[in-house]
Amino acid sequence: MKDLLKQRLNRLAQQNHRELMVISGEQDWCLRTVNALLPCLHEEQGLRLGLWLGKGAPDTVPAIQAGKATSWLGRERQFVVFNAWSGFDVDAFGAISGVVKGGGVMFLLVPVLDQWSLLEDPEHRRITVYPENENRVTGRYIQRLAGLLAKSEHCSLIQQNKTPVWQALPNPDIETETRDSCGYCQTQEQALAVEAIKKVATGHRRRPLVLTADRGRGKSAALGIAAAQLLSHGLNRIVVTGPSLASTEQVFQHADECLGNDSLSPGTFSRGTFSRGRVQWQDKSVQFMAPDEIVGHPVDCDLMLVDEAAALPVPLLESLLRQQSRIVFSSTIHGYEGTGRGFAIRFRKKLDAIAPKWRALHIKQAIRWADHDPLEQLVFSSLLLNARPAEDHQVEGATAEQCEWVRFDRDQLMHDEPMVAQAFGLLVLAHYRTRPFDLRHFLDGPNIEVYGLLYQGCLTGTVLAAREGAINASMQEPVWLGQRRVRGHLIPQSLSNHAGIPEAIRQKGLRILRIAVHPAVQRNGLGADMLNRLAQSASDKGFDYLGTSFGATSGLLSFWQNSGYLPVRTGLQREAASGCYSLMMLQALSEAGRELLGEARSRFYDNLLLQLPESLKVMDTELVRQLFNGAGNFISADLSERDWQDIASFSHGQRLFESCLPAIRKLLLNGLVYPDSCSNSCSNSYEQALQVLTMKVLQQQSWSSLAQHEGLAGKKQVLARLRSCVGMLETALKH
């Protein structure tokens, strides 16, 4: 077998392709087999060019835990051993596959394939929810994966007591990729991308670039190379943002490499400076900033680079697009980082409206391995990174009345690969952040339910929901006091601990994790129809409420409010990646659910009024206004005769704002809580008046902040604006 492996390695090196070798059998046999093969890979280069994930690594091979896989992004190894006996961390499998360089091998050590799904997997603890134990987690995902590995043409299968089945290697007569002649770019396509990025910074304003590529195409490297060249040619400050500092590491590494090799002045990048997200060159810099930090405090820079933009929600990307006149959005189309297809579909409309002269560029050619790489193709299929919904023409024209509502049996669904791909493809398109682990949770989560709308056998919409609540009464006090937290059950535990309703954990709820409608039939009422059908189904099963929790935007809040859901809790800090506050909403299904919803709503508004000038000071004012819709039963803001006098004396006289604030606050709350009472007066100027008053009265923003927001010189001008706004609201509510 060793001689055969050496021959295969030579062929792989010639083709710049990579291979997955699945070693399946008893654990000790798997370890002995792979250790016998490893010397073939290091005769010339040494075992240090390998990496081992999981237990059982020999002393000669560097070993890491699966949770550290993402820290190896951008590095290369001749071989990787993934010991799935230590647990099959699906995210780590996707991430570490990109570490294997062209001509290399990935070894996957697994139990006997037809027994693998029956064995306990340490990864089950990530899926287990109270009160289930790990043995209750199904093996559907592993059963599906084992079946794919057994039949795949893109891997070799070495099984205990069986004849090895070797993957057919590609024809050796393939054309070598064209490489760019410059010192940094490795392909002509990457060089074109660098030039396109530089043109955003040096050409006409308001012409953003959207750069996409599959993984391993050098997209992030192109950002770093372009940033370095722009600094050396006159730009002073480039800001890089993305879902996390770690996700942008490649940008900084390549920027530093280019600047460090500059004979005029080397870069000063090091691990110490990178931990703060900064590459300094002379008095110029490439600097990382978190998205929420930028949205809250717009920055002045020569160019902004948004890496892995698909992992950020569209409203946040829209804010960046409006703020920056020179900006590049970069996204992985396929990869463990998430899919960029949903990003492209959702963001295109915003680009067309805000910057119609935007440009798209896609890098096809791989850098670290050749096209049609067998390992890449196998990873795509096993993790469903290439999952796609039904074709547009198959569902166009579908209405809710024509669709069949189904609750999928996941034991049957796992054997229907096209339907799994359609369902997961829709979920990926609808959400800004998807990981390979989500597919395993989709198939194996013990509290998960999957629903869909079928039109002529094709999926037009799907809902993923989790059963929550019905927690044992003995847990009530420790959960309420924050002394205990059980796995899963987000909404009941939050209502108990954060909202202070201990009994909430005992009710049965169904939390909607994701809802997705096929892009070809969106805005046809299918989303609302699915929620109505789900409510009826959940009510019939004895659930007390339906719930949801999401990063709040004005559009999403409107959708859920129009579907009968009401806010019960908001997070107190914006998520770093999304720049949004989380929002929890409920729809009652039973009498007990209605009582819970009523109390939760009352406590929500008590807290909201106190949180707005503190934790929620920078919450979007449109979102604040929407949260007050229908809150009349929970907010007392009756205006007395004296209050009306105070309001008039401020709006038409010169009384102090602070002296009249209690009456102005009541006036504003009436305008927010009862928007229909002044519908005849609602105009753009009226909407702007509500916005200004919300910022000053409820969120208590400073005079200088308000002046900056309104484009006014100072406090005197802001006061005049407030008097006008109060007068406008006074007139509207009196009539």
Total residue count of the chain as it appears in this document: 735
713-733 b/e with 16+ CB inside 10 Å = b? Answer: eeeeebbebbbebbbbbbebb
517 annotated as a binding-site residue: yes
CA atoms within 13 A on the CB side of 730: 18
For 4-14, letters b (16+ CB in 10 Å) and e give ebeebbeebeb
DSSP 561-575: HHTT-EEEEE-SS--
d(Cα 492, Cα 149) in Å, to the nearest integer?
A: 40
Residue 289 contacts by C-beta under 8 Å, 6 or more apart in sequence?
A: 239, 240, 241, 277, 299
Whole-number Å distance between alpha carbons of 278 and 303: 15
* C-alpha atoms less than 13 angstroms from C-alpha of 95 in its C-beta half-sphere: 22
The answer to whether 408 and 459 have CB atoms below 8 angstroms apart is no
Instruction: State how far the Cα of 489 lies from the Cα of 505, in Å rounded to an integer.
Output: 8
Asked whether residue 515 is marked as a ligand-binding residue, the answer is yes
Q: How many CB atoms lie within 10 A of CB 316?
A: 25
DSSP symbols for 609-665: HHHTTTTTTTS-HHHHHHHTTT-TTT---PPPHHHHHHHHHHHSS---HHHHHHHHH
> Are the beta carbons of 262 and 232 closer than 8 angstroms?
yes
Closest to 440 in 3D by CA, of 138, 151, 152: 138
- Is 516 annotated in a binding site? The answer is yes
DSSP 495-506: HHHTS--GGGGG
State the sign of the Cα–Cα–Cα–Cα dihedral 89, 90, 91, 93: positive
Closest CA to 445 of 4, 138, 24, 66: 138
| 26 contact partners, CB below 8 Å, separation of at least 6 | 111, 112, 160
Whether 87 and 116 have beta carbons less than 8 Å apart is answered as no
E strand segments, 255-393: 278-281, 284-288, 303-306, 327-332, 359-363
Phi, psi for residue 698 in degrees, rounded to 5: -90, -40
Tell me how crowded residue 482 is: count the other CB atoms within 10 A of its CB: 11
| Strand order across the beta sheet in which 566-570 lies | 404-407, 448-455, 458-469, 508-517, 545-551, 582-588, 566-570
The single-letter code of the amino acid at 136 is R
Q: Which of 450, 467, 441 is nearest to 127 (CA)?
A: 441
Contact status, residue 444 vs residue 139, Cβ threshold 8 Å: yes
CA pair distance 229, 734, nearest whole angstrom: 63
Contact 515, 430 (CB under 8 A): yes
* Phi, psi dihedrals of residue 656, rounded to the nearest 5°: -65, 140
Reading phi first (left if > 0) and then psi (alpha if -120 to 50, else beta), residue 403 is in beta
Q: Pull the structure tokens for residue 266.
A: 């080397």
Q: How far apart are the first and last CA of the chain?
A: 90
Q: How far apart are CA 99 and CA 105, in angstroms?
A: 10
- Rounded CA separation 134/123 (Å): 9
Retrieve residue 395's tokens: 């569902």
Residues comprising the binding site for ATP? 190, 368
Residues comprising the binding site? 190, 368, 515-517
Residues comprising the binding site for acetyl-CoA? 515-517
